[in-house]
Structure 1
Amino acid sequence: MKTHKGVDALLREAERERRCAIGRGDAMQHALRRRLRSHELVSPYPNLYARAGYWERLNVEERSLHTIRALAKRRPRWVFAGLSAVCLYGLEHGYGLHDGRIHIASRGGPRGDDNKRLCRLYMSSTGRLWRSDGILVTSPARTLIDCATYPFANALAIFDSALRRGLVRAEEIRVLALRANCDERAVGRLVDHASPASENGGESLMRGLMIMQGFAEPQLQVEFDNPGNPEAPYRVDFCWKLADGRIIVAEYDGMAKYADTGNPNRATLQSKLEYERRREAHLKAGNVSTVIHTVYEDLVRPQRLERKLSDAGVPRIR
């Protein structure tokens, strides 16, 4: 298809601003739709466009943000909520939660002219609004309450991330939940278990799965002596100190972190493996009975995680 200077300029501007291009005017919209039909462009939302190759390189969160930024430009009074607000705040979350929909706060239900990709989250009052990158969003507490509808382990990762970032305090969430139209029990359970000590979304998801499977909740980021460097103690992701004196440690890691060939300054595979072996030996010398190693695949297939924890003797409380 022939080059269209106006379309090219529109797309370049949008890419600089990390958003989708917005079709304006009949002639421009016609040119964009022609390129959409020829698969040069994609359209994640009506009258929003991006180059197909450019869009393919984005992950699902970046795609959501590109759509949100464009919609905020078109509808500056919209208040983004739920998972859309999570993206704008930069909170860690599972990419599997993305389903292509955009979430906004609304005092009413769906409207007849709403696009199927627009999800209105009802709230009688949005409360004090925040801005992220100049875009209106629900407050962190309200955002977390709206995310309490996700599966427990996924929601816990979002709650942990918000607490870790210092965006909200647990008591703020509890107070707002009393006034909001929400599942207070689900929100309360998440607040009870959320912790800023969880260092990343993977650890949060793993802890959430443990809780759902009925295992005793571990201590987080427990330190152990490092004989090779006393000033830099070892810190483990999860730790259970049992009444019979046993200490069980679980680490969320895996071989994937050793395969980062893109970093020219990375340590060699052999040296990293040596470090892990030395670390585990030191932990066991420090009275750790068992070290459980888990990887992302164990979280995708929770029965694998459950088997590893059971085999290691992690106690269940139910």
Structure 2
Amino acid sequence: MKEHKGVSALLQTAEREQRCAIGENEALYRALQRRVRSGELISPYPNVFASASYWTSLTVEEQSLHTIRALSKLHPKWVFAGLSAACIYGYHHSFSLHDGTIHIASSRGSNKNDHAHLNRIYVHNGMRVFLYRNLPVTSPAQTLIDCARLPFDKALAIYDSALRFGHATILDVETLMVQINCDEIAVKKLLQYANPLRENGGESWAYANISKLGFAEPLFQETFDNPDNPSMPYRVDFCWKLADGRIIVAEYDGVAKYIDTSNPNRANVKMKLEYERRRERHLKERGVTTIVHMFYETVADSHTLDATLMDAGVPKIR
């Protein structure tokens, strides 16, 4: 399709501002819609547009944030809530939670004219509105309470992140929880298990599944001396120190740690493998008896996870 200078300028500005473009007048809106029909652009939400090639280069979280930033310009009174607020705050979470839905705070229920991908989350009157990265959002405590509606193993990463970033405390959430209507059972469970020591969403997810199977509580980010660099001790994801002297370490490797050995840069692969072998040798020299590597597939299958940890000797408490 022939280049439209106005559309090109609009898209360039939007991409520079890391948001979707908006049809600012009738002529531009029609020109953008024509390009949606031709497949040149996509429209994830009414009057919100992005280049198809640019859109597919983004992660689903980045796509959500691009849509949110555009909608904030279109609807300046909207206050983003739930998973949308968690994205704005930068809390770790599973990309599988993204389905194109935008979540906003509302004092009323859904409207028949609402877009199918708009979810209104009821909030109490007098709710505090925060401005974070120039976007209106619910408070961190309110965001955590709203995210308690998500599955426990998905919500825990959001709670861990908020505590780790110092955005909210357990007391903040407990105080707000008794003031509003919410799922107190779900919120209390998440607060019971939340821990800022877990460094990323993968560790939080892995821990949620370990806990669900009834295994004993591990230590998080336990350190061991590194003889090669004493100022940078080794840290392990999960550690169990048993009464009989055994020390069991479990590491969550959510993505492939090594590139394909067919890669031309074989030296880099060899260095990484050698580092891991040396690290494991040093850990065992410092008393670690068993080291378990858990991959995504291990954790996702409860039977495999249970067997892996049982074989390693991790005790169950229930």
TM-score range, shorter chain: over 0.9
Offset at residue 255 of structure 1 (A): 7.3
Give the direction of change, closer, same or farther, for the CA distance of 1:198–1:8 in structure 2 (3 Å limit): same
Q: Secondary structure at the match of 2:120?
A: strand
**2:217 matched to 1:214?**
no
2:177 and 2:3 mapped to 1: Cα distance? 54
Q: How does 1:142-291 map to 2 (within 5 A)?
A: 142-253=142-253, 256-259=256-259, 268-291=268-291
Offset at residue 2 of structure 1 (A): 1.3
**Which deviates more, 279-288 or 174-183?**
279-288
Over the matched positions of the two proteins, sequence identity in percent amounts to 58
Offset at residue 307 of structure 1 (A): 2.2
1:77 and 1:110 mapped to 2: Cα distance? 16
Q: Which amino acid aligns with 1:237?
A: D
Offset at residue 100 of structure 1 (A): 0.7
**2:46 matched to 1:46?**
yes
Check the 8 A contact 1:202/1:252 in 2, yes or no.
Answer: yes
Q: Could you tell me which residue of structure 1 aligns to residue 92 of structure 2?
A: 92
Offset at residue 225 of structure 1 (A): 2.6
Check the 8 A contact 1:130/1:137 in 2, yes or no.
Answer: yes
Offset at residue 132 of structure 1 (A): 1.4
Check the 8 A contact 1:105/1:126 in 2, yes or no.
Answer: no
Q: Could you tell me which residue of structure 2 aligns to residue 10 of structure 1?
A: 10
Offset at residue 231 of structure 1 (A): 3.6
**Count of matched residue pairs:** 316
Q: Which amino acid aligns with 1:75?
A: H
Q: Could you tell me which residue of structure 1 aligns to residue 69 of structure 2?
A: 69
Q: Could you tell me which residue of structure 1 aligns to residue 27 of structure 2?
A: 27
Q: Which amino acid aligns with 1:50?
A: A
Q: Could you tell me which residue of structure 2 aligns to residue 118 of structure 1?
A: 118
1:207 and 1:127 mapped to 2: Cα distance? 33
2:240 and 2:48 mapped to 1: Cα distance? 51
Runs of at least 5 residues in structure 1 that lack an aligned partner in the other structure: none
Offset at residue 24 of structure 1 (A): 2.9
Q: Secondary structure at the match of 1:280?
A: helix
**Which deviates more, 298-307 or 5-14?**
298-307
Q: Secondary structure at the match of 1:158?
A: helix
1:77 and 1:255 mapped to 2: Cα distance? 39
2:279 and 2:145 mapped to 1: Cα distance? 40
Offset at residue 135 of structure 1 (A): 1.1
Query: What's the TM-score, normalizing by structure 1?
Result: 0.94
Q: Which amino acid aligns with 1:202?
A: G
Q: Which amino acid aligns with 1:275?
A: Y
1:260 and 1:132 mapped to 2: Cα distance? 40
1:26 and 1:211 mapped to 2: Cα distance? 55
Give the direction of change, closer, same or farther, for the CA distance of 1:130–1:16 in structure 2 (3 Å limit): same
Offset at residue 277 of structure 1 (A): 1.3
Offset at residue 267 of structure 1 (A): 7.3
Check the 8 A contact 1:92/1:201 in 2, yes or no.
Answer: yes
Check the 8 A contact 2:255/2:296 in 1, yes or no.
Answer: no
Check the 8 A contact 1:254/1:293 in 2, yes or no.
Answer: no
Deviations 1:36-91 (A, max 9, x none): 11111100001111111110101100100011001100111110000000111111
Q: Secondary structure at the match of 1:287?
A: coil
Q: Which amino acid aligns with 1:121?
A: I
**Which deviates more, 123-132 or 243-252?**
123-132
Runs of at least 5 residues in structure 2 that lack an aligned partner in the other structure: none
Q: Which amino acid aligns with 2:74?
A: R
Q: Could you tell me which residue of structure 1 aligns to residue 308 of structure 2?
A: 308
**2:25 matched to 1:58?**
no
1:221 and 1:273 mapped to 2: Cα distance? 22
Query: What's the TM-score, normalizing by structure 2?
Result: 0.94
Give the direction of change, closer, same or farther, for the CA distance of 1:113–1:9 in structure 2 (3 Å limit): same
Q: Which amino acid aligns with 2:31?
A: A
**Which deviates more, 140-149 or 294-303?**
294-303
1:193 and 1:126 mapped to 2: Cα distance? 29
Offset at residue 18 of structure 1 (A): 1.0
Give the direction of change, closer, same or farther, for the CA distance of 1:146–1:254 in structure 2 (3 Å limit): closer
1:65 and 1:286 mapped to 2: Cα distance? 45
Offset at residue 149 of structure 1 (A): 1.2
1:118 and 1:16 mapped to 2: Cα distance? 26
Offset at residue 126 of structure 1 (A): 5.6
Q: Which amino acid aligns with 1:185?
A: I
